[in-house]
Amino acid sequence: MFKKKKKKSQPPPHLILLSIISSGAWQIQIQKHEQKNKLIRLIQDVMALEESSSIPDSSFLQVSLLNPFKLFHKRNVITDDYDVTSQVLGKGINGRVLEAFHRESGAKYALKMLQDCPEARREVELHWRVSPCHHVVPIIDVYENLHQGRKCLLVIMECMDGGELFSHIQDRGKGNLAFTEREASGIMKSIGEAVRFLHSINIAHRDVKPENLLYTSKRPDALLKLTDFGFAKEITTVNSLATPCFTPYYVAPEVLGPEKYDRSCDMWSLGVIMYILLCGYPPFFSHHGLAISPGMKRRIRNGQYDFPKPEWCDVSEEAKQLIRHLLKTEPTQRMSIGEFMNHPWITRSVEVPRTPLHTSRVLREEQEVWEKVKEEMTNALQTMRVDCDQIKIKTIDDSTNPLLLKRRKKSQNSATQLPGQ
């Protein structure tokens, strides 16, 4: 299935495998590492800090543990280490996902196949950087192999056996177990932790949607994790606007700060997902039982949504208020991830009422249109993504700002005058 390269390079002198297990603790396997004892002491120090009550958020500590380690692309054939099956687990933006088993341990993993290109390498690199977060599907290994004559990146990830977020909730309804507002709050907190981790290290996911939120297992205590970083983007700060050739005060806010615009795309997604969690249907589409509206984009631009009966009758006002802050039509007015995580509905999730919701029932009733709903959300996100490279910021020479034109004309007149005149 996978061909060996003619000149096989030696594997790196050490292999470090860091992954997150369901409990959130570190699972560490170290082989042939020259500074093994030093690394173990570092890990112990970080884990001790995580247990300290003085540390507000342990997820940020995890960055310091993983950042020192470079992502190694293995050159040996993947089948040396894994048995790859033909079972398709899913399909991402840039490649399909197959089932794979580690030969030595027998553990099951997910294998994502990407055709090697700059975009694929960027996806893998950004995904690797955020893998320490316990609400992100971690990368375990990356291989560079030839497949059908083409150079590919083969990414081994944790296998998410629990399925997609809303399928998980839909199954809850089969056992007559009511899905509650308190549970919705806990889910949004988990998603928020993933987004906060990304934004804290200047990465925007830009494709947060239901099918990219997966559970580790079918168990009630399974972890929810974010995956698929095909549209993820490293956010640059205003340093690119600091050069003298730019006039940052001239451009509109959404152009001046594309890094904020990219982040706000993630916040809009949180609003849509939260809305669906609380009622079973999305805000900018037709309500359950009706055809998908062709005016979806217009509704998003105009912020046309409401909280109709009967699904929203018993939902708390705090939850509705939070949704309103997330679904602001002006990107710069949406709340940040920090504001979201500090909202009482998130911080005091254990105090959120256990109000039974209609979500499971509605999801089951509208199962046949759910694929269309996901497609529409994908299209909506596509229109919201901003590629900073395509944004043209006017230079001083191109600017038509009245003040600049006046000063330029005055400067030209002064230059044409002869000395002594």
Tracing tokens 């991402």 back to the chain, one arrives at 92
Residues 18 and 113 in one domain: yes
Known catalytic residue: 228?
no
Nearest Cα neighbor of 66 from 120, 119, 20, 12 is 20
CA angle 251, 253, 256 (to 5 degrees): 60
Instruction: Say if CB 244 and CB 267 are below 8 A apart.
Output: no
Average pLDDT per consecutive 10 residues, the chain (421 residues; last block may be shorter) = 46 34 34 45 47 38 43 91 93 81 96 94 94 94 92 96 91 78 97 96 92 93 95 70 34 45 87 94 62 58 82 96 93 93 95 93 76 69 56 43 52 53 49
Same domain, residue pair 110 and 210: no
**Residue 380 and residue 270 share a domain:** yes
Total domains in the chain come to 2
CB atoms within 10 A of CB 143: 22
Domain boundary among 158, 185, 209: 158
State how far the Cα of 132 lies from the Cα of 26, in Å rounded to an integer.
Answer: 9
One domain for residues 226 and 201 = yes
Supply 23's token pair: 């409990």
120 and 210 together in one domain: no
Whether residue 316 is contained in a domain is answered as yes
Three-state SS annotation for 36-67: HHHHHHHHHHHHHHHCCCCCCCHHHHHHHHHC
Indicate whether 413 belongs to any domain.
Answer: no
Is residue 351 a part of any domain in this protein?
Answer: yes
Please indicate, yes or no, whether residues 263 and 376 belong to a single structural domain of this protein.
yes
Q: Is residue 223 within 8 Å of 22, Cβ to Cβ?
A: yes
In terms of domains, do 142 and 264 share one? no
Of 192, 125, 189, the closest CA to residue 153 belongs to 125
Residue 170's pLDDT is 85
pLDDT (0 to 100) of residue 112: 95
**Nearby residues of 106 by Cβ (< 8 Å), 6 or more positions away:** none
Give the model's pLDDT for residue 1.
58
Residue 421 maps to a domain: no
Strands (DSSP E) along 292-400, which ranges?
Answer: none
Clarify whether residues 135 and 261 are in a common domain.
no
Domain contains 321: yes
Question: Residue 15: what pLDDT?
Answer: 32
Tell me the CA distances in angstroms from 35 to 15, 132, 346, one per residue in order.
12, 21, 41
Expressed in angstroms, the distance from the first to the final Cα of the chain is 84
Asked if 207 and 288 sit in the same domain, the reply is yes
Bridge partner residues of 83 (DSSP) = 101
- Beta-carbon contacts of residue 83 (< 8 Å; ≥ 6 apart): 100, 101, 103
Q: Specify the pLDDT at position 284.
A: 72
pLDDT computed for residue 383 by the predictor: 65
Residues 314-337: b if buried by 16+ CB within 10 A, e if exposed: ebeebbeebbebbbbeebeebbeb
- Which is the catalytic residue, given 45, 83, 116, 207? 207
Shared-domain flag, residues 13 and 94 = yes
CATH code, domain carrying 84: 3.30.200.20
- Residue 35 falls within a domain, yes or no? yes
* Domain stop point among 135, 158, 181: 158
Structural domain range at position 186: 163-390
Instruction: Return contacts of 190-193, CB within 8 angstroms, 24+ apart.
Output: 190/135, 190/223, 190/224, 191/135, 191/224, 191/226, 191/270, 191/273, 192/270, 192/337, 192/340, 192/341, 192/346, 193/59, 193/133, 193/134, 193/135, 193/341
Residues 135 and 176 in one domain: no
**201 within a domain of the structure (yes/no):** yes
Tell me the CATH number at 366.
1.10.510.10
Last residue of a domain, one of 158, 192, 221: 158
- Kindly give, in sequence order, each residue whose CB lies less than 8 Å from that of residue 240, ignoring residues fewer than 6 positions away: 388
Q: Are residues 194 and 286 in the same domain?
A: yes
Given phi > 0 = left and psi -120 to 50 = alpha, else beta, which region is 223?
A: beta
Q: Assess if residue 241 is contained within a domain.
A: yes
DSSP summary character for residue 231 = T
Please indicate if the annotation marks 112 as binding a ligand. yes
